[in-house]
Every structure is written in structure tokens, then in C-alpha cells.
Structure 1
Amino acid sequence: MKYIESESNASIKQWKKLHTKKEREKTGTFLLEGPHLIEEAIASGAALVHVIVEENFEMKDEWLKEKFTLWTVPAKIMKILSETEKPQGIIAVCEMPAEPEEILKENGRYLFVDGVQDPGNLGTIIRTADSAGLDGVFLGEGTADLFNGKTVRSTQGSIFHLPIVKKDLQKALSDCQSLNIPVYSTSLSDAVDMREVPETKGFALIVGNEGSGVQPALQNESTMNVKIPIFGKAESLNVSVATGILLYELQRKR
């Protein structure tokens, strides 16, 4: 175990840079914060490079069997590295998992994320897709960074549980249709009530940007546009809430 006391230490400066997308992409690493995420990473076989703990933090014995460099820091340093108001006493530098080359399969269940910009929404959507038992998630252009700290924390570890691929959604849509997987796009107009969607073994659901929704080109090429009935006076639902409702309804129709 190595001890760092100074805020000007080169390692501290380097790890702090991982708060930026540019540095994450440059190094192929990102930060995990809190014991739950680190436990999920270890359980999934993710590669931890460094683990930084606050003084007096109690490490689990099984964690110490992993191949990472362990550092101890005072509370003031942990606060510098943390992106939360109340640091949980442990942060890890983790290698980005390699993207799988192909995740589509016959009767598979997938989620397309089209330009969702809020990291918290994206993380919650990924967590929901994991909970609903999906086979993979495709992230389209304009979507928040998968390895943003808020995204990672909002996934609650689901980032390690299912394949997540950055891909041109037009191409992904075409690939799904070639496997006879119906693609449903969310829409507030010219759409079928989700309760009227026919039974299907596999499916892909497209959810869109918080303000503008799914881009028209994807709506036009989808198998069917679907909507959630609104019974009150709200005009629409938060994208992560809508994703959960639709995924569970589609799963129910399997």
C-alpha cells in the first residue's frame, strides 16, 4: 500500500484528469466511485489499475487478491478525486471494457439510445435495460458519454452486466430488420398505443433525446411507432421512466 499526502502529487493530478472525456478516451480508463461499483467491477472481471482509499477505509479481504496498485490518501485528497458531495472512501481507476464486435442474434432484445444527453438519464436507462433482461444496448451519436462519472454511478453496476455498443443506429436498425427483429420507435404522434403492439419474441426499442425525441429518419424506418398513454395532464414522461414502462410491456408480450 502506498501513501499520498500532497495535492500536487503527479498521480493525483492524472487521476483528476479522468473527470474529463478527453482524458478518459486518451488513456482508455475511467473512474469508479464507491464500494458497490468496485465490487460489481471485480465480480465481472473488469481490470482495475489503481484503487485509492481514504485513511481508515476497510478493504474487503477478497478485493486484496486482485491485481491493482493500492493507494491510501487523506480525506482532503479523496474529496479532490470524488465527483460526489459525500465521498464514499474508495475510488478506482478502471480500464474501459472492449466493445463486443457483434451482439445481434435472432429473437434478441435490444435498446437503441438516440441522443439522450443527460448522463443520469443514460445511466438509469442502462440499469433499466439490464433489469429488463435485454441482450444489449446501442448508443447512437449525440448520446452522453458512457464513462462519464454520473453515467457510471447511475448504472449501479449494470455497465458491467450487458453489452453496450456505440453504433450508427440506422445501421443497427437495418441489421435488426435483416434478422426479422421488429424495431419500435417512441413517438408522441402518429403512434400506436403500446398496449396494442402484437406479441413478439424479439424486439428493439428506440428511445430519443429528452427534448426532440427520436430522429424522424429512425421513426420512418422503424417497424412501428409506439407511445405510452397519458392519463393525467403531463405532456410527456422522463425518457428513463418511459424506457422502463415500454421495456417491461414489450417483455410481457414475449
Structure 2
Amino acid sequence: MQNQIKSFQNTRIKFLNQLKEKSRVRKKEKCFIIEGVREISLALKGDYSITQIYYCPSIISFEEASTLTNQRDQKTSIFEISLEIYQKLAYRSTTEGILAVALAKDLDINSFKLSSKNPLILVTEAPEKPGNIGALLRTADAANLDAVFIANPKTDMYNPNIIRSSVGCIFTNKIATGTTSDIITFLKQQNIEIYGAALQSSQDYHTQNYTNPTAIVVGTEATGLSSEFLQNTSQNIKIPMGGSIDSMNVSVAAGILIFEAKRQRNFIK
């Protein structure tokens, strides 16, 4: 007999709501919620462990839901929930009636291992808005970057809004987090050139050579890069603009810089 949950007062449902709403709970329990078939599928592809599946039978069948489990691990528990409970827990009305609980990964930069000898890395410093983080992760996935480093993140990486705005690309990228000092140390130890997106002492981005091990660093739209990063860049770079303002959305700017580097590496024929 399948596990059925019909009450909002069920302890599992209360716990799911806490995972959804509270970063401290996600950090303490080292797990998080994933919503939607595509996102769960990408998490499995990214080797995340799914411990629980919650599905709404009026939207998705048990057979469909049960395919979204770890094929190597039969310990995934599957629960049937009512439409009312699903609607309370879901962020989006367009998802396919399924939620999952997954185990968080250790994203500490001190545990990170590069797999490429000539990496291209995106670094974003002190990002605040989950939407911007999600957009940056989508751009990194599109460019198939070797890693995304997040310095001094202002939110935990398993915030549901980051998962949603990244359309699951949080699971397809190799991500590491740490302090600005930790990330600078890592890049220098690996002999990676650091190109900071900044106006100070900068050169036009398309004049630089990104064919060697490279990190492209972007800051916030409001304050840009910290003085610590600016003091440790190999070269600051800028995007020439012809309008009235001197900045653009951070994910747009990162996309321009990243794909110039990919072009130089013959990504675009």
C-alpha cells in the first residue's frame, strides 16, 4: 500500500514547508526541496541523491513519479499527496505535480577539484538576488564552463528560487562557494588568470586572450567587485557601451564575456 498524506498537519508536510521557507533548516538538515520533473531529472543527472518523492496523483501518475528516483539506490521513499497540499508546497502552478527531497552537496571551495587542465571559470562575488544567480548558472551551463565559483554568497545555494530561476542548472554546473580570499587563493594556486569586470584600470574585453586557464569575475550591479578582488586581478576588463549608463545586468554582462572566451577557444565555429 502506498504512503498517502492528506493532512497539512502531517509532520512530513510541516518539514517540507520548513525546507521550502527557511535557509537555516536546509543548512542544518543538509537537504532541500526540488520541484518539477525537469529539475529532478537534472539533479539525478548531476549525481544528487533523492531521498523522498512527493507526487499528486491528479497531475502525475505513480508510475511516472517512481521513474524519478536514484536508479542505483532503492532507498527513495515515495508519498502520495493531495492536490491541496501540493498547491501549498509548490512555487509554480506549471510544475508537473511532483516534489523531491535531495541531499545537499559539499560546495566548499577547499574541497573542490578541477577536472580540466585549461579551465574556464565564472566567479560571481556577493550575489544577492536568486534570479541573478539562476541566470548566471543558466549562462554557465549554456557555455559548458568548467566551474562556477560564488564568493561570499548572500543566500544558500539550495534556495528554491535559485533552483527555479536556474531551471535546474544548479545541478548541471560544478559549483563551489567560499570567501573572496579563499577563491582568490584557489585561483592563484592553480595558476588561473583572473579577469575582473570593472571600470577601474580596465581594457576592452575583446582585446584580451582567454585561451589559457581563465577566471572571469563579476560583481554586483550596485557595488561591483570588492577592493580585495580588484587588487588581485590579472587584468580588469570592460564592455564598451554607447548609451547613457555604464553598467548592465550582471548575467548579461557575464554572458558577453564568457562567450567571447568560448569564441576564442573555438566553441563557436
User: With structure 2 as the length reference, what TM-score do the two structures score?
Assistant: 0.87
Alignment of 1:12-161 (within 5 A): 12-19=13-20, 20-56=22-58, 57-58=60-61, 59-60=63-64, 62-63=67-68, 66-99=74-107, 101-104=111-114, 106-161=117-172
Matched, 1:227 2:250: no
| CA distances 1:31-65 after superposition (whole Å, capped 9, x unpaired) | 10111001112233311111111123124263365
Q: CA deviation at 1:189?
A: 3.6
Structure 1 gap ranges (5+): none
TM-aligned CA distance change 1:199 to 1:5, over 3 Å: closer
CA distance in 1, matches of 2:152, 2:98: 32
What is the distance in 1 between the residues matched to 2:219 and 2:17? 31
Following TM superposition, by how much is the alpha carbon of 1:199 offset from its aligned partner in structure 2, in angstroms?
A: 4.5
Distance in structure 2 (CA, Å) of the matches to 1:131 and 1:120: 17
Residues 36, 204 of structure 1: CA spacing in aligned structure 2 closer, same or farther, 3 A cutoff? same
Instruction: Return the offset for 1:134.
Output: 1.4
Contact 2:221 2:248 in 1 (8 A): no
**Ranges of 4+ aligned residues in structure 1 off by more than 6 Å:** none
Post-superposition CA distance 1:47-100 (Å, at most 9, x none):
111111112312426336553111111111011111235453111111112337
What CA distance in whole angstroms lies between the structure 1 residues aligned with 2:196 and 2:263? 18
Matches within 5 A, 1:138-217: 138-217=149-228
In the superposition, the TM-score normalised over structure 1's length comes to 0.92
Q: Percent identity?
A: 28
CA shift digits 1:97-155 (9 cap, x unpaired) = 23372324642221211011001111111221122121112111143321000101222
Identify if the C-alpha distance between structure 1 residues 186 and 143 changes in structure 2 by more than 3 Å, giving closer, same or farther.
farther
- For 2:143 and 2:195, locate their aligned partners in 1 and report how far apart those are by CA, in whole Å: 16
Distance in structure 1 (CA, Å) of the matches to 2:253 and 2:89 = 34
Contact 2:54 2:81 in 1 (8 A): yes
Amino acid at match of 1:194: Y
Aligned residues: CA RMSD: 2.0
Count of residue pairs brought into register by the alignment: 254
User: Given residue 46 of structure 1, which amino acid in structure 2 is its aligned partner?
Assistant: Y
Following the alignment from structure 2 to structure 1, what is the Cα–Cα distance between the partners of residues 251 and 31?
Answer: 26
Q: In structure 2, do the counterparts of structure 1 residues 235 and 178 end up closer, same or farther at CA, with 3 Å as the change threshold?
A: same
